[in-house]
Structure 1
């Protein structure tokens, strides 16, 4: 298992995803956490699986990222930042 963050931007600020990944890693390091392996951009709310009550379905996210290489091969490179 590797650390992954899924983000949904409220507005496009023009900040490259690689910069957001660096900022996230810095914040994690300040709190003694490991760096992210992937920062994945959710283009729409539908890209984040939720149940009928609106809770994020973490099991589905774990399944999505289980084969990280396969997942990234199928994604547009502009939609994620990785190490």
Structure 2
């Protein structure tokens, strides 16, 4: 967790950033387990997808209330 937090903190607050860990998933398996959020992130940033942004934006952001994820931290409003 310390390196994840260090990388998050190293990014300036002027850019949208988020960290989350999927419960029960080892670091080496992460890329296979979080592909839905990774896809949504790229759809939001590359295609301006209005549905994908809902996974990350606002107090009702899906990732903030997803019980499969822990240690979620975000500067996205």
Smaller-chain TM-score bracket: 0.3 to 0.5
Structure with the greater alpha carbon radius of gyration: 1
The structure where helix makes up a greater share of residues is: 2
TM-score (norm 1): 0.40
TM-score, normalised by the number of residues in structure 2: 0.41
